Amino acid sequence: MLNIRTFPLGRWFLLLMFFVMSCPAIASAMETMVGGAPSKPWWFWPVVLFFFCLILGILAVMAGVGGGVLYVPLVSGFFPFHIDFVRGIGLMVALAGALAAGPGLLRRNLANLRLALPVALIASACSIVGAMLGLYLSRLNPDLIQTCLGGTIIGIAFLLLFSKNTEKPVVTKQDAIGLALGLQGVYWDDGSRESVEWKTHRTLLGLFMFILIGLLAGMFGLGAGWANVPVLNLMMGVPLKVSVATSKFLLSITDTSAAWIYLNRGCVIPLIAVPSIVGLMLGSILGVRILAVAKPKFIRYMVITVLLFAGLKAMDKGLGIGLLG
């Protein structure tokens, strides 16, 4: 019998990855073999989706990425749902995760409201435009969105691979906009047992970047934590802990506006949305417990590999090559 203490964590993780990649793929293959028309009872895919999202939630926490960025490419690649629904539900999933994390981060003063508010206004307004544009393009040709999604996901994988975030960036002089908006603060670092002061620089450039982030988040239904953190940390000079926490909180605002667009267009089907939301939230809770004994670096590289594969799969599907099944 397998013992959790003696069975290496890496193997557990590989088993999880195997399950994530294989369960919808096998089910899909079986369906195709039967002959194209849906042969499964209505409950089959929602049940598979629930367990898939449970594992996705564990992986997302362990790899330090949001649920939405894994959910949209993997579910659109391996499940029989149209990309319109996957994006709408992906945003609801990211929103629920951000709402769950937000209160704790705000109370500990890790997520900074002053920093979040101006950035959120830009990102949320642009995510509406992104969502409308995404739905318009999808109506013209869904393959176009699928291909662009694939390209974006591959870009995200490389961004995660090569971006070297800085724990406490050195900001020698705060710029005028940062000063006018009061984008500075202090937080208590439990690790180094000291209070850390921070302030922003290159604020205008950072704010411009959130136009692009909002557009991408809305267009593809992705939570945008993967982009928020590098912009806040590397560009604006915000400490990593504050960047990660503020980014997570930001999603609760950015994703709300884009989610409303998809919700109002009818892109959220309760039958598949609720198992996705509940599965990912339960998985996140489990993931936090497992995180204590995990090796985050190894897991991060594995998730980057999965993202690369999911991106290639989305491009393959969008371009109709059929190389990856």
Partner 1 sequence: MPTMDNQSTKPSREQIIYANLLLIGMLAGIVTLSITYTIYLTGLLPAHVDMQLISANWGKGVQEYLDITHSPHGWGWLALLGKGDFLNFIGFTLLGIMTIVCYLVLVRGYYRKKNWIFMIISVLEIVVLSLAASGIFGSGGH
Per-residue HEC secondary structure of 87-114 comes to HHHHHHHHHHHHHHHHHHHHHCCCCCHH
The count of other CB atoms within 10 Å of the CB of residue 162 is 7
Tokens coding 24:
């919808």
| Binding residue count for partner 1, defined by CB under 8 A | 72
103 binds partner 1 (CB under 8 A): yes
Q: Choose between 17 and 177: whose C-beta lies nearer to partner 1.
A: 177
Please report how close the Cβ of residue 188 comes to partner 1 at its closest, in angstroms: 4
Q: Choose between 16 and 272: whose C-beta lies nearer to partner 1.
A: 272
Helical ranges in the chain per DSSP H: 9-34, 44-63, 67-78, 83-107, 113-140, 142-162, 176-181, 203-220, 225-230, 240-264, 270-291, 296-319
285 binds partner 1 (CB under 8 A): no
Which of the residues 186 through 205 are near partner 1 (CB under 8 A)?
Answer: 186-188, 193-195
Question: CB-hemisphere CA count at 13 Å for 256?
Answer: 9
107 binds partner 1 (CB under 8 A): yes
Site string for partner 1, 139-158 (x = CB under 8 A): x--x----------------
Q: What does DSSP say about strands 184-189 and 194-199: parallel, antiparallel, or unpaired?
A: antiparallel
Tokens coding 324:
């990856």
Contact range with partner 1 by CB under 8 A, out of 154-162, 182-190, 204-212, 238-246: 182-190
Question: CB-hemisphere CA count at 13 Å for 292?
Answer: 4
6 binds partner 1 (CB under 8 A): no
Tokens coding 16:
């999880």
Q: Of the candidates 118, 159, 240, 291, which one interacts with partner 1 according to CB under 8 A?
A: 118
Contact range with partner 1 by CB under 8 A, out of 16-24, 119-127, 232-240, 294-302: 119-127
109 binds partner 1 (CB under 8 A): yes
270 binds partner 1 (CB under 8 A): yes
Q: Of the candidates 48, 153, 215, 268, which one interacts with partner 1 according to CB under 8 A?
A: 268
42 vs 2, 45, 48, 73, 119, CA distance in Å? Answer: 34, 7, 11, 23, 42
The answer to whether 76 and 83 have CB atoms below 8 angstroms apart is yes
Contact range with partner 1 by CB under 8 A, out of 161-169, 219-227, 231-239, 265-273: 265-273
Contact range with partner 1 by CB under 8 A, out of 17-25, 61-69, 154-162, 269-277: 269-277
Mark residue 205 as left, alpha or beta (left: phi above 0; alpha: psi -120 to 50; beta: remaining): alpha
Tokens coding 161:
């691979």
Site string for partner 1, 200-239 (x = CB under 8 A): ----------------------------------------
Q: Of the candidates 17, 100, 179, 240, which one interacts with partner 1 according to CB under 8 A?
A: 100
Rounded Cα–Cα distance for residues 154 and 151 (Å): 5
Q: Choose between 21 and 267: whose C-beta lies nearer to partner 1.
A: 267
Q: Which residues are within 8 A (CB) of 289 and not within 5 positions of it... i.e. 6 or more apart?
A: none
29 binds partner 1 (CB under 8 A): no
Q: Of the candidates 76, 252, 276, 284, which one interacts with partner 1 according to CB under 8 A?
A: 252
Q: Of the candidates 64, 260, 286, 308, which one interacts with partner 1 according to CB under 8 A?
A: 260
